[in-house]
Chain A
Amino acid sequence: MSKNLNIKKHIFSILKGLIIVLMCIFLYFTFSKPQASSKDFTTVQNGMLNNIDLSTMELKDNISIKRFLNLEPEMFENIIYYKSQDALNADEIVLVQFKSIDDAKIFEEKMEARIDEQRNIFSGYAPEQEDKLKNSIIDVQMNYACMVVSQDVKTIHDQFLRSL
């Protein structure tokens, strides 16, 4: 009788141990999203654009950010926007640092809308620009995010991730 009870107690302990393990795994996957970067904006900007030729691009002001990207610059802790000087070139690079990570969704939506809008403009007459737009990247990494339309999209994105 007492032996049976002991076995039961052991089974309970083993089952509860198993639940703890499963809960840890569940919590790990729930919270294992990238953590917010503590790097300052200039460091991330320099790292991301290291050795990238920006001679054909122009650093745009807040009015252009509102006009082309439909974003309120005040929403962000920091934001930079490079756009090609050539109207027939779709190259654009946006880097933002969020004040609140809750704003990431808005940023993603606005960037998707911008890319769709650009694809509508370039489709048909500039296939190489359309390809660049197809391969463009919008990436949110907690408190930083970028949008890249460029021939060097992969390099810029890799450098963005490394610089965080």
Chain B
Amino acid sequence: MIFNSLIFIFFFLPISLILYYLTPSLYLKNIVLLIISLLFYAWNDPATLILLILSILWNYLSGIQISKETKHRKLVIITSIVFNVVILFIYKYIDMIVPFEVDTSHVPMGLSFFTFSAISYLGDIITEKVEPQKDIVLFSLYICFFGKISSGPIVTYAKMQPQLELRALNRTKFYTGMVLFIKGLVKKIIFADQFALVFQGLSSNNSVLGAWLYTISYALQLYFDFSGYSDMAIGVSKMFGFDFDINFDHPYMSKTIQEFFRRWHISLGNWFKNYVYIPLGGSRVNNVLYVRNILIVWFLTGIWHGADITYIFWGLYLGIFVLMEKFFLKKGLAKLPRFISHIYTLLIVLIGWVFFFSPSIQSAFDTLLKMFGFGAASFADSDFLFVFTSYLVLIIFGIFFATPIYDKLQIVSYNLLKNKGIIITSIVYVVFFVICISLMVGSTYQSFLYSAF
């Protein structure tokens, strides 16, 4: 089941909320939430529930075993983590190494996300940041809470554990969650899905400006798609009392590549930082090892998105820019006007997205060459002009909403107009919600891009 479906919005979510709020104690609420989450997971493919339950049991037992074991602790740690990695590998990457074709097109929903949550749990127990969870209900809820299982955010156990045992439920939090959910829905339905049409419309365009708009539309589609999903996930979680950190912080406003990835898919970046980069030594090593660490992290970031050379290339390409910024460009970029730094970052990121969305490296280079005038039939053709003029309003609003201006305006309106500001904003959100629903009824919505990773 996905968040942007009518069945979720009008059936699953309201019934879940009613059941949850009617249940008296927090522990019983957790049991209700666990049952709902398992149902959510099994909705499209009940067989995958077996995989999820086995994974939960494995990690539950492993957590306790790691904390108790002294004699064979290393062996227990290695086998516990390897089990998770092997399952992920079999589903996502096996066809990269076996000589025959294996159907890896049906990766269970959220596999990468719940596996990373489980590894973070084990990692925190190994480093003694947390105690193992002995209550199977609470542990299962941490792994499979439906607000985050399908595409994150990847919440660490240390962050979620206190909330499993005690969390505030109040009207303000519920309202904030609901607004965030609608905001995410608007990002997905009104922006991401419309930018998808621009992207599709220009896929065979052979002009320079067409290639640029093609790439820009993908950049905006991906941002609104995944940040919209994240807003919805965080909003839903808030309605059930959970507070998760933001996953996107206006990344296209960044002035360096390093900053971009501190603002883009924050929870994944933090995961790689805490469970790969720092255990490898982080930046407290000599330059050679530092370069190795960065390249390993970016290689893994790339391959996490899929078993394809284009993703690996994308990851390493960005890793090289992170290294270049660290060793050569940092001082220069700091001296440049902010505007130039923004342009630099956007240019590098856009080129990166070309590798990300292209089916092959050759096709990525074809698009890039076209963007810079090589092999393009014209500078701008009628197809480009048609798409550009048809979607000009969307492009302007898309760029506007990718900046923090709207969020700042909303805060100013709350401060200046107090209750009136809240009422006006609520009306605006209700109107946009109705528009989204009407678009969804017309079946013009698409599944989330990041659910494929």
Contacts and interface: CB of A to CB of B under 8 A. Distances in A.
Given A5-B68, A26-B51, A35 B101 contact: yes
A25 to B, nearest CB: 9
B101 A36 contact: yes
B58 A19 contact: yes
Contact of A12 (B47, B64, B101, B103): B64
B219 to A, nearest CB: 26
Contacts of B90: 27, 31
B61 A12 contact: yes
Contacts of B61: 12, 15-16, 19
B10 interface: no
Given A23-B87, A26-B51, A27-B90, A102 B105 contact: yes
Contacts of A102: 105
Nearest to A15: B61
B123 to A, nearest CB: 18
Nearest to A5: B68
Interface residues of A, number: 22
A38 B99 CA distance: 10
B270 interface: no
A5 B51 CA distance: 29
B220 to A, nearest CB: 27
Nearest to A102: B105
Contacts of B68: 5, 8-9, 12
Given A19-B58, A20-B83, A26-B51, A35 B102 contact: yes
18 contacts: A5-B68, A9-B65, A12-B65, A15-B61, A16-B62, A19-B57, A22-B50, A23-B58, A26-B50, A26-B51, A27-B90, A31-B103, A35-B100, A35-B101, A35-B102, A36-B101, A142-B101, A143-B101
Task: Give the top 3 A-B pairs by smallest Cβ distance, nearest first.
Answer: A36-B101, A12-B65, A19-B58
Interface of A: 5, 8-9, 12, 15-16, 19-20, 22-23, 26-27, 30-31, 33, 35-36, 38, 101-102, 142-143
